[in-house]
A and B are shown apart, each in its own frame.
Chain A
Amino acid sequence: MKTQVYYQAKKIGINALIHAFLISVVITCLYPLLWMVASSLKTQDTIFKDISLIPKEFHWENYPRAWQEGGFGRYFLNSIFYTISVVTGIVLVSSLAAYAFSRLSFPGKNFIFYIFIAAMMIPLPGSFVALYVLLNKLHLRNTEVGYILCMINVGLSTSIFLLKTFFDKLPHELEDAARIDGCSKFGIWWHVALPLAKPVLAVVIVFNTLNVWNEYVLALIIFDSRAKMPLQVAINRFWGEFATNYPLLMAGLTITALPIIIVYLLMQKYIVKGVTQGAVVG
């Protein structure tokens, strides 16, 4: 006869096991992060000799040094500017298109949608040169606008895919109600669809923020003036042809990782609350 104590013990035992499992994964996740931070606090000659996670001396000055030598002030602002612009652009453009694919009808709708999806699956090697020549012809090379438009394109397909699947799952009642109230199509999109789409928009925001923030090859090829470069380009300058300054590189990478973590923290409560109401299903 299984007693109350037995069930309680079993519950505690299972919980303990689960926590042990989770904690062990947490350790593997945290270790590289701590290694990066610890490395950033060492010096060039101790970074590989001293293998402990806690450096013998804490060289906090690596951070202001990395900031200055990498010229981070300007590049950081540039990256923020590009990220906000691109992500805002993608949110607007892809939600408009996704809403249309989901709710409106027009000839060629499915065909155009499938082309977007196919684009998601076909990477383009050597497209950098093509984009360079293209931007050149449009007189948009070495301009922020050109870079932003290119980056909007990069995230477009996946964002449209995520958003469309979500909009498909929306109950029609709300939209019908709004239409009866005299709302235009744009109005329904703005007042009904978008607010309801907050969870999947949060995913789209995090996903695209990550992509834009970490991008550097396109920026390096398109921009000719240092003043326009994003942060990642500056970081890669620590990765020298001949001599890499590891502690500064690690400090720079730590600085780079922080904003994304902040964006994730802000967005993640929206995501879990209900992404799957469609975004993920089907």
Chain B
Amino acid sequence: MKIKSVLENYLFILPAVTIFLIFYIIPFIWVFQLGFYDWNGIDLSKSFVGVANFKEVLVQDPSWWQSVLNAGYITIIALIFQNILAFLLAVACDREIRLKNFYRLVFFIPPVLSEIVVGMAWKFIINDIDGANIVNRMFISMGLSQWAHNWLSDPKTALTTVALVHCWKGFGWGFLIFLAGLQTIPKELYEAARVDGANAWHSFKHITIPMMVPVIALVGILTILGSMQAFVLIMGLVGGEFAGHTSVPVLRILASMQGSSRFGYACTQGIVFGVILMMVSFIQYRFSKKRA
């Protein structure tokens, strides 16, 4: 009787595990073992190089670590600006205000737009020679002409600008999830606090934030995973790696695969990248567990 029950339970996960085994595990094994070879993706034979690729990625490839740092920078900016913006917007929309549904629709437009369009549109907005220079003209008209700048073509500001556009594209998801999270905080808590004499800021600090910590953690993990892997936007805004200034891991992997025809090395980079992502996610998960 018990065995029949357990077998029945396995049936539930059977379709998922089957598909997963065939379409993820098998390619994963193939990619994983390729990391130990030197192969150009075409030759019929590959040469086994053991851990030489891994050694190269970890110690001899400064461009790889630069790309990781750049992606980390974009991720930190996203964690801060994107999620703070999403949170504030969600709080603002949680109140009984008019046009709530309109805002909910509009704020989700950036995630829906294709990254090609987002890259082209923002390049148009920011750049002066191949765009309409809207951002700079806005600064000048506000009297802040010292802020007018080549945001995308100056290597010093390019990465930050790209990160901010990335935030713009991503805040819609955070907004939606935060908004949903805010709905589940019982109104009675706020009522009780008001009766006790607390003002808006007080209830925000002592009710809203603590109850939203698990939501913030989840959005955090999704943000990290998404931002570390961003690259299409970078190609649209600055044409690529910009001499390393806007290089990110996925672009480096693509360069190894297609530019240098080093398929094996690209797989090595991919594995190292996966390990980095797992470590970062794990740290974030631990951190949020402590806070909650």
- Given contacts A150-B23, A185-B9, is CB(A31)–CB(B16) below 8 Å? no
Question: When the two chains form their complex, are residues B177 and A275 in contact, meaning their CB atoms are under 8 A apart?
Answer: yes
Residues of chain B lying within 8 A (CB to CB) of residue A127: 27-28, 31
- What mask results when residues 84 to 128 of chain B are scored 1 for a CB within 8 Å of chain A, else 0? 010011001101010000011111111111101110011011000
User: Does chain B have a CB within 8 A of A112?
Assistant: yes
- What mask results when residues 68 to 98 of chain A are scored 1 for a CB within 8 Å of chain B, else 0? 0000000000000000000000001110110
Question: When the two chains form their complex, are residues B27 and A130 in contact, meaning their CB atoms are under 8 A apart?
Answer: yes
Q: Interface residue tally of chain A, by bracket?
A: 35 or more
User: Does chain A have a CB within 8 A of B170?
Assistant: no
Residues of chain A lying within 8 A (CB to CB) of residue B183: 272-274, 276
User: Does chain B have a CB within 8 A of A257?
Assistant: yes
- Given contacts A96-B13, A276-B183, A277-B184, is CB(A253)–CB(B116) below 8 Å? yes
Question: When the two chains form their complex, are residues B20 and A153 in contact, meaning their CB atoms are under 8 A apart?
Answer: yes
User: Does chain A have a CB within 8 A of B179?
Assistant: yes
Question: When the two chains form their complex, are residues B16 and A156 in contact, meaning their CB atoms are under 8 A apart?
Answer: yes
User: Does chain A have a CB within 8 A of B215?
Assistant: yes
Residues of chain A lying within 8 A (CB to CB) of residue B13: 96-97, 100-101, 112
* Majority DSSP secondary structure for residues of A touching B: helix
Taken together as a complex, chains A and B put the C-alpha atoms of A122 and B278 apart, in Å, by 7
Taken together as a complex, chains A and B put the C-alpha atoms of A277 and B13 apart, in Å, by 23
Residues of chain A lying within 8 A (CB to CB) of residue B12: 96-97, 99-100, 104, 185, 189
Residues of chain A lying within 8 A (CB to CB) of residue B97: 15, 18-19
Interface size on B, residues (CB 8 A): 80
Question: When the two chains form their complex, are residues B23 and A121 in contact, meaning their CB atoms are under 8 A apart?
Answer: no
Question: When the two chains form their complex, are residues A122 and B117 in contact, meaning their CB atoms are under 8 A apart?
Answer: no
Question: When the two chains form their complex, are residues B114 and A253 in contact, meaning their CB atoms are under 8 A apart?
Answer: yes
Residues of chain B lying within 8 A (CB to CB) of residue A120: 225
Question: When the two chains form their complex, are residues A276 and B89 in contact, meaning their CB atoms are under 8 A apart?
Answer: no
Question: When the two chains form their complex, are residues B26 and A282 in contact, meaning their CB atoms are under 8 A apart?
Answer: no
Q: How close is B53's CB to chain A, nearest CB, in angstroms?
A: 13
User: Does chain B have a CB within 8 A of A223?
Assistant: no
Q: How close is A30's CB to chain B, nearest CB, in angstroms?
A: 6
What would be 20 A-B contacts, judged by CB atoms less than 8 Å apart?
Answer: A18-B92, A25-B89, A29-B107, A32-B117, A36-B121, A48-B130, A96-B16, A97-B15, A100-B12, A100-B13, A119-B28, A124-B28, A125-B254, A129-B41, A152-B23, A156-B24, A250-B117, A260-B112, A268-B104, A274-B184
Interface residues of A (CB under 8 A from B): 15, 18-19, 21-22, 25-26, 28-33, 35-36, 48, 51, 92-94, 96-97, 99-101, 104-107, 112, 116, 118-127, 129-131, 134, 138, 149-150, 152-153, 156-157, 160, 185, 189, 199, 203, 210, 214, 239, 250, 253, 256-257, 260-261, 264-265, 268, 271-277, 280-282
User: Besides the contacts A121-B278, A126-B257, A280-B219, what 18 more A-B pairs have beta carbons closer than 8 Å?
Assistant: A19-B97, A25-B85, A29-B107, A93-B19, A97-B15, A126-B41, A126-B263, A129-B41, A134-B26, A152-B23, A156-B20, A256-B114, A264-B112, A277-B184, A281-B184, A281-B215, A281-B218, A282-B218
